[in-house]
Structure 1
């Protein structure tokens, strides 16, 4: 586990654990068709609040709406007990700035699957929100009030379930649906960065997972989302079911939301050149596929001291034009890149940068003076 991620705040995890345990109370309350219907209805409504509210609206501003409906979305989202919309948006924006790097708040690559799924939520370093990253949201006093009273909507919904559905309404309708929404949401942080396909080069481990897309009303098209984050539509292709987007279209037709952002055709087709940050991250991933230490060891075994000195100087002066049987060629890096990544017009740039990184790492291990 990352050095900064060992300080699990166990007291804050107690309500989380207790809610899971309370789900077993259905053994005593019983489970009726009506309570199951309530659970299903609340799952869909609150999952939509996560996908359309927490994520596409508050985190990415993928559409616009009135201040009144913004507040409704915020209340519905926070009825899931996933902290405030300010906290959620702050952490999610940080995730996108550092996706699958050591600075990411929940990357399976660096912190492990379980920590990325749920453990990070209870870490002391993630307990507070960086409100400076959400100035577009903090200007609303009602959202700041919800931030201060983050669990008020969840308690209100739980009380309504108890009042109108009795103990079955509370346990099955509220508790079960809350737990299901929790883990469906958490799977996007964990499973959607581990299992699935990658249609786009994004510089991270995001993947498209059709099963998660069904369970999360469209969020499983996660690689699509990382390719164009501000899109209100995450199922870019007609066959990629995105129930959240369909509902947003219905709300737009009714005049409740407006300005649904769409991915440009060049992005959908994979024809848009990648940004410098994505190229750099992808090149790092590609270079890491070749062991600089093993290459350096093979060069030491094959070359004399004079040859090594000349090779180090050549690597320093013009890494991309240096050839040696023990150094991976540009063609070898290109072949590896084509097996790893989707089609992109930036592939040559990625390979060139990866070769520079790899040769610099080899030169460092051979004791050369850094540029």
Structure 2
């Protein structure tokens, strides 16, 4: 995820994401927000408020159980008919098609909080991660290869083509039931509320909260977000075991989406609910190599490699007893770290120092030694390469 000195720079074509906003496509999004102010003229009725509150929670379930846990992660199985119902319910939120949403989310998990993530506050800033990314040209279309398990269904492809159809139908229904207040308050207010509650998982849940697991990214558990998103706020849990239908891993971590899915399983509407292994629940699982590499990169980034290299280079130049080491580093070239690992030098972090920093930086994990070993090697590689180059 990170080089030895700083996060990798995006490829050249990605440098100007913030300048690559598809401004015409922001107009409908802005109009939805502006439509909320029409309540000044339509008034706010109790009926419209009830419609809005109901639609918020029902459609939030469409996002959490549909867009996310089913279409993105396949955390449970269901029939083709209920699959279509979930897709329609999810798309009634006007957050594009289930195929687009799932493809982008699967990409997010592959590159979470790296320079290739679609919406990382670490690399792109909070506002872009919250909402700006969805208007970038490179995110306008979906990579359907990532969701090939669903493209075989014609009805889902139809919804992909006419992604706003469910939202338009729902808007019409709210108008017929509640009149103009039903449309403005019931539909538009709840739509905007659902928008930003959902977006907060991409932005706020990677900035504020606690980390129970080492996941190689910035995902966090946030109880307040969990309340407003029916369990999605247990985001660090989710990144620790993405396939789980349950995201609140502790009994006190409220997860209404899971409770509803569980009830649906009792009546046979859904089945094959996936659960996290006991080792994950106890935080005793071994981390994968990709997570270890990312965590090690984050750890290395806390050391000033340039400063360390400069000080060591000065020591090599001014200490006669180190003249042989300079020659060995130059001869070693790309394997200079193998030379450094055999010597003790001032300013060069020891493995014990790296371990102490890792212990204060990361949550409990059985793989801490692996992270430290990888980070220490990365530090030696980076410093060794700089010293070897300086010696030529």
TM tier, smaller: over 0.9
Within the candidate set 323, 343, 352, 2:364 is matched to 343
The residue that corresponds to 1:236 in the other structure is 249
Describe the SS at the equivalent of 1:137: coil
Residue 249 (str. 1) matches residue 269 (str. 2): no
Separation (CA, whole Å) in 2 of partners of 1:319 and 1:303: 12
- 1:32 is displaced (CA, Å) by 1.9
- 1:192 is displaced (CA, Å) by 0.5
TM-score (norm 1): 0.96
The residue that corresponds to 2:355 in the other structure is 334
Ranges in structure 2 where 5+ consecutive residues have no aligned partner: 1-9
Separation (CA, whole Å) in 2 of partners of 1:206 and 1:109: 11
- 1:74 is displaced (CA, Å) by 0.1
Question: Are the counterparts in 2 of residues 315 and 322 from structure 1 also a CA contact under 8 Å?
Answer: no
The residue that corresponds to 1:221 in the other structure is 234
The residue that corresponds to 2:344 in the other structure is 323
Question: Are the counterparts in 2 of residues 79 and 154 from structure 1 also a CA contact under 8 Å?
Answer: yes
Residue 161 (str. 1) matches residue 154 (str. 2): no
| Residue-pair matches, total | 370
Within the candidate set 3, 7, 11, 2:24 is matched to 11
Moved more, 323-332 or 90-99: 323-332
- 1:316 is displaced (CA, Å) by 3.0
Moved more, 213-222 or 251-260: 251-260
Residue 291 (str. 1) matches residue 291 (str. 2): no
| C-alpha spacing 1:203/1:336, structure 2 compared with 1 (3 Å) | same
Task: Map 1:91-130 to 2 at 5 A.
Answer: 91-130=104-143
Question: Are the counterparts in 2 of residues 320 and 355 from structure 1 also a CA contact under 8 Å?
Answer: no
Moved more, 138-147 or 28-37: 28-37
Separation (CA, whole Å) in 2 of partners of 1:78 and 1:315: 55
Question: Are the counterparts in 1 of residues 337 and 383 from structure 2 also a CA contact under 8 Å?
Answer: no
The residue that corresponds to 2:284 in the other structure is 271
Ranges in structure 1 where 5+ consecutive residues have no aligned partner: none
Q: CA RMSD in A?
A: 1.7
- 1:307 is displaced (CA, Å) by 5.6
Describe the SS at the equivalent of 1:155: helix
Task: Map 1:9-88 to 2 at 5 A.
Answer: 9-88=22-101
Describe the SS at the equivalent of 1:345: coil
Moved more, 295-304 or 327-336: 295-304
Residue 309 (str. 1) matches residue 322 (str. 2): no
The residue that corresponds to 1:144 in the other structure is 157
Separation (CA, whole Å) in 2 of partners of 1:321 and 1:346: 24
Question: Are the counterparts in 2 of residues 4 and 125 from structure 1 also a CA contact under 8 Å?
Answer: no
Separation (CA, whole Å) in 1 of partners of 2:138 and 2:76: 31
Separation (CA, whole Å) in 2 of partners of 1:364 and 1:101: 24
Residue 186 (str. 1) matches residue 207 (str. 2): no
| C-alpha spacing 1:293/1:67, structure 2 compared with 1 (3 Å) | same
Moved more, 113-122 or 304-313: 304-313
Question: Are the counterparts in 2 of residues 185 and 216 from structure 1 also a CA contact under 8 Å?
Answer: yes
Separation (CA, whole Å) in 2 of partners of 1:217 and 1:230: 17
TM-score (norm 2): 0.91
Describe the SS at the equivalent of 1:367: helix
The residue that corresponds to 2:183 in the other structure is 170
Question: Are the counterparts in 2 of residues 78 and 151 from structure 1 also a CA contact under 8 Å?
Answer: yes
- 1:298 is displaced (CA, Å) by 1.3
- 1:251 is displaced (CA, Å) by 0.9
Separation (CA, whole Å) in 2 of partners of 1:63 and 1:90: 18
Question: Are the counterparts in 1 of residues 71 and 102 from structure 2 also a CA contact under 8 Å?
Answer: yes
- 1:319 is displaced (CA, Å) by 4.6
The CA deviation string for residues 299-345 of structure 1, in whole angstroms up to 9 with x for no partner, is 12323272651573584325544422210111111111111111111
Question: Are the counterparts in 2 of residues 43 and 181 from structure 1 also a CA contact under 8 Å?
Answer: yes
The residue that corresponds to 1:198 in the other structure is 211
Question: Are the counterparts in 2 of residues 200 and 223 from structure 1 also a CA contact under 8 Å?
Answer: yes
Separation (CA, whole Å) in 2 of partners of 1:32 and 1:350: 57
| C-alpha spacing 1:302/1:318, structure 2 compared with 1 (3 Å) | closer
Question: Are the counterparts in 2 of residues 62 and 230 from structure 1 also a CA contact under 8 Å?
Answer: yes
- 1:135 is displaced (CA, Å) by 0.8
Question: Are the counterparts in 2 of residues 287 and 358 from structure 1 also a CA contact under 8 Å?
Answer: yes
Describe the SS at the equivalent of 2:348: coil
